[in-house]
A and B are shown apart, each in its own frame.
Chain A
Amino acid sequence: MKNEWPLWEIFIRGQHGMSHRHVGSLHAPDAEMAIKNARDVYTRRNEGVSIWVVEANHIAASSPSDKGPLYEPSESKVYRHPTFFDIPDEVGAM
């Protein structure tokens, strides 16, 4: 049996009132781990308030609430945002 973790498509609702948006994919052994991995991979910069995961091969395509512990923590990682670093004007855009 092939032992590769299945691929999951990740949908995140960024703000209350918005719809879930596809943000990317990842691998996980099952749906629960996929949600956890999505939290770790795709919400490192406060991007989400709600996560949906769908196993990629369950998606049919035309041709071409755990939010406290889950999201608040990344708010304090200010250094992830480029504006945290003071770059002198003389140096140019960066």
Chain B
Amino acid sequence: MYAQMIKSEATQDDPEKLAAFQARIDAGEKIEPKDWMPEGYRKTLIRQIGQHAHSEIVGQLPEGNWITRAPTLERKAILLAKVQDEAGHGLYLYCAAETLGVSRDEITEMLLDGRMKYSSIFNYPTLNWADIGAVGWLVDGAAIMNQVPLQRTSFGPYSRAMIRICKEESFHQRQGYDAIRKMAEGTPEQKKMAQDALNRLWYPSLMMFGPSDKDSVHSAQSMAWKIKMNTNDELRQKFVDQTVPQAEYLGLTVPDPDLKWNEERGHYDYTDPDWSEFFDVIKGNGPCNVDRLAARNKAWDDGKWVRDGLLAHARKKAARKHAAE
């Protein structure tokens, strides 16, 4: 998911207030920024929304990598519109985080100096054009699994951001599937690209849901607070069940020899990703971690004079207007 391994904060608030707060959530009420909330709820949300926002922004990079090489004018427009949407998602989410008292610049700096994380998936490279299809199909597909239930999350601004985001996501997944389908049905070279993309992105996509439930110790509180709606394994299973037939339709092979339908469970049995690789990537040792952060830092540093310049002009203009009045 875009927010993996979010550790929920312990809470030491007045038990009576806490009980009333929990009762509101249980009754399906939305918590708004000015309402009383436990400090742990606020901090956990900042971390989760922030990580989600950072993922959208860093997520622009692997797909942006192909904008200038898109093979047709229409594909170029579609990809650019899609990556632009991700920038929009980051923006909506940063705004939701701001209602909790952390400004855009503050939270951005936490990403840039490594204090905050983003989803492990974006530390993998996009190496051929089919990766663009695969990212839309698999990565956006996995993200949607988690984002659809989050529309019902307890925190109002987060929920509203997710509603807006979900409206746009369906376009993302469909354009991805459409792009990879063209290739799976294309020349032998294109087919090879499509299979290669699935081979590399399958397990990283499964990792997006976070570690297995038995190793994920922090979900209970978040689930009670309705800022996490399903367990990692639940969503992962749902994703596998949905995606395998889609791969079959394309004539592509999911790179898991043990993958098979389990009649009794009514689900596919599948092989878990290599969790040691996952923890390596989280620690900063994925194929692209260093480059991704460097690209974000460069954009931020190179952009400083622009942000400062436009603000200085706005202040001058306001001062001139004031003087004229």
Structural contact, A91 and B246, CB atoms closer than 8 A: yes
Cβ A4 vs Cβ B104 within 8 A: yes
**B74–A79 CB distance below 8 A:** yes
CA distance A94 to B310 in the complex (A): 42
Interface residues of A, count at CB 8 A: 31
Query: Whole-angstrom distance between the alpha carbons of A81 and B169 in the complex?
Result: 10
Question: What separation, in Å, do the CA atoms of A26 and B168 have in the docked complex?
Answer: 18
Q: How many residues of B contact A (CB 8 A)?
A: 42
Query: Is the C-beta of A82 less than 8 angstroms from some C-beta in chain B?
Result: yes
- Taking CB atoms, residues of chain B closer than 8 Å to A91 are 177, 245-246, 249
A66 interface contact, C-beta 8 A = no
Q: Min CB distance, A59 to chain B, in Å?
A: 12
Residues of A close to B164: CB separation below 8 A? 23-24
| Set of chain B residues within 8 Å of A44, measured between Cβ atoms | 81, 84-85, 88
User: Quick one: closest A residue to B34, CB to CB?
Assistant: A64
Task: Enumerate chain B residues within 8 angstroms of A90, measured Cβ to Cβ.
Answer: 245, 249
CB neighbors of A among B42-93 (8 A)? 74, 77-78, 81, 84-85, 88, 91-92
Instruction: Please judge, given known A-B contacts A29-B310, A80-B81, whether A87 and B177 are in contact too, CB under 8 Å.
Output: yes
* B95 / chain A contacts, CB cutoff of 8 Å: 7, 24-26
A-B contact pairs, 6 of them (CB 8 A): A23-B164, A25-B95, A41-B91, A77-B81, A87-B177, A88-B249
Interface set of A (CB-CB < 8 Å, partner B): 3-5, 7, 23-27, 29-30, 33, 41, 44, 61, 63-64, 77, 79-82, 84-88, 90-92, 94
